A and B are shown apart, each in its own frame.
Chain A
Amino acid sequence: MLDNPIVWAFAIGGPLITFLMGGGAVATWWERRFAGKMQTRFGPNRVGPQGILQPVADAFKMMQKEDIVPRAADRTLFNLAPIFPPFLVIASAAVIPFAATVDATGKYDPTGAVAELDIGILWVLSMAGLMVFPIWVAGWSANNKYTLLSGMRMVAQGISYEIPMVLCALIPVIYAGSLSLSDIVAYQHEHGWIALSLSPSMFVGAAAMLLFFLTSLAEANRIPFDIPEAESELIAGVMVEYTGIKFGIFMLAEYLHTIVAAALTSALFLGGPSPLFGPAGPIAGLIWMLGKTLVLFVLIYWLRWSLYRFRSDQLMDLCWKVLVPMSLLLVMLAALMVAGGFA
């Protein structure tokens, strides 16, 4: 029954979408509580125990709000734009293996991805690349100078930071010799995590993970790279003219993007479901994968509430003068290490 790819996709995709959507909703509450604790204030604590039901209240509030489309906006594009961000983020999560099986011969097989594509990482990167479209279209179609500026910044940042991100994602590909995320995880189970393998190649792997993590923060528009929606300059970026649940969908997509970025970083560089110690079965794999994702996720919000944002030109300088040359150098070092037999 589960051998049929369509049945498998529904059996795995359903829980995955539920998990991402639910996780995204809980993340909105958790982030506000976390930020509150960091700034010695309360955060939402009225709806339900510790305020945990706040996302439900928020969702009802946003659905009840009037849906306003500005008269001078491009109506079709304005209404189409919010559909795509959550779709693209969830689609990119389809190839991430969330668990693993070990058969009788001790063969480790990462599984749990909705679709086992042989171009796995390319699929993720192409979905991430398409993400600039809905955001730019939202900024353009609203016909507002703040949204347009935000959309332009988004494009500049998105297509610049994509380059070091793709280059850093190449490094696990070079080590594992495969584009498939399952093969990359299987390689890491055998040879040690790419960012933590206690071999000469570990330094390249750790540096690549740092760069990949930073650039995926930029792709997800998180501080210190949230110039497209710098609220002190651009109010709420491309979302200025959106009301009610359309605004909510954009917000949810950002949280989903953060979760998927954390999951992807842990699968590429921290072994994904591969355990550091203990058993390697499917349940243990799921727990390790979720644990690693959660640690990176908390780190993202820790950074967000600790740092200032860069200025727009500093952001471009950082990308083109530091991150791009560094990632090119890392790709070269990784290729040399594989050729020299150090990895």
Chain B
Amino acid sequence: MSPLIGFGLVAGFLLASAVMVVRSDNLVHSVLWLSVVLVLTAVVFILLGATFLGGIQIILYTGGVITLMLFGIMLTGKQDTVEIPNPSEGHLAGAGAALAFLVPTLSAIWATDFGPDKGLPPVTAKHIGTAVLGPHLVAFEALSVLLLAAMIGAIVLARRSDPGEGR
């Protein structure tokens, strides 16, 4: 029973934080709530026995979220106060989109027979490593090519047209 209570607390707090990401008035608060959501997602992974995934989740997303925060501040123009407005518009359309996602997801979950709890062995770093470098090698390499292309694109965009200028 107690694992269920723990999961309930984490999941409840996770959902509440996710709502706060959308509902918060201040952009910085929104992004900080997003970081809470991502850390709690890592906790859910750990509760499910995927400890490696949980650790990687925290390591990768902290850098990502903090970068997002910097973009949020740099792209919102000149700010004289700590309040960066983050207004929510189109509540009705948003609710419609959420419902359109919720109904099929819930019906799929209800329709699935998960069967009895088989008590899966925990997935370790070793399992993930052999899976990534074995059967899924092509996808793994394709991903790294994609990231390389994104990085070259970023460098090209950020490059000055005349290297001698401005130094």
Instruction: Report which A residues bind B (CB closer than 8 A).
Output: 72-74, 77, 117-119, 122-123, 125-126, 129-130, 132-133, 136-137, 140-141, 143, 152, 155, 158-159, 162, 166, 179
Contact = CB atoms under 8 A, between A and B. Distances in A.
A73 B82 contact: yes
A77 B32 contact: yes
A74 B83 CA distance: 8
A137 B31 CA distance: 11
Contacts of A179: 52, 125
Contact of B28 (A118, A122, A129, A140): A140
B70 interface: yes
B66 A117 contact: no
A136 B69 contact: yes
Q: For the complex of A and B, list the 4 residue pairs with the smallest distance between their C-beta atoms, beginning with the closest.
A: A122-B55, A126-B58, A74-B82, A129-B62
Contact of A141 (B42, B73, B82): B82
A130 B125 contact: no
B41 interface: no
Given A77-B32, A117-B51, A133 B82 contact: no
A119 B52 contact: yes
B58 A129 contact: yes
Nearest to A125: B59
Contacts of B73: 140
A136 B59 contact: no
B73 to A, nearest CB: 8
Interface of B: 26, 28-29, 32, 35, 39, 42, 51-52, 54-56, 58-59, 62-63, 66-67, 69-70, 73, 81-83, 124-125
Given A72-B81, A119-B54, A179-B125, 20 more contacts: A74-B26, A74-B82, A77-B32, A77-B82, A117-B51, A119-B125, A125-B59, A126-B58, A126-B59, A132-B66, A136-B66, A136-B69, A140-B82, A141-B82, A143-B82, A155-B70, A159-B63, A159-B66, A159-B67, A166-B59
Contacts of A74: 26, 28, 82-83
A133 B29 CA distance: 12
Contacts of B42: 126
A44 B58 CA distance: 41
Contact of B52 (A122, A136, A155, A159): A122
Main secondary structure of the interface of B (DSSP, over half): helix
A140 B124 CA distance: 38
Contact of A72 (B52, B67, B70, B82): B82
Contacts of B29: 77
A91 to B, nearest CB: 12
A123 B57 CA distance: 11
Contacts of B51: 117-119
A73 B73 CA distance: 16
Contact of A130 (B52, B58, B67, B83): B58
Given A73-B82, A74-B82, A123-B55, A133 B66 contact: yes
A267 B39 CA distance: 27
A148 to B, nearest CB: 9
Nearest to B29: A77
Contacts of A130: 39, 58, 62
A308 B51 CA distance: 41
Contacts of A136: 66, 69
B51 to A, nearest CB: 5
Nearest to A131: B62
Nearest to B67: A159
Contact of A129 (B59, B81, B124): B59
Contacts of B69: 136
12 contacts: A72-B82, A74-B28, A77-B28, A77-B82, A122-B56, A126-B42, A130-B39, A132-B66, A143-B82, A155-B67, A155-B70, A159-B66
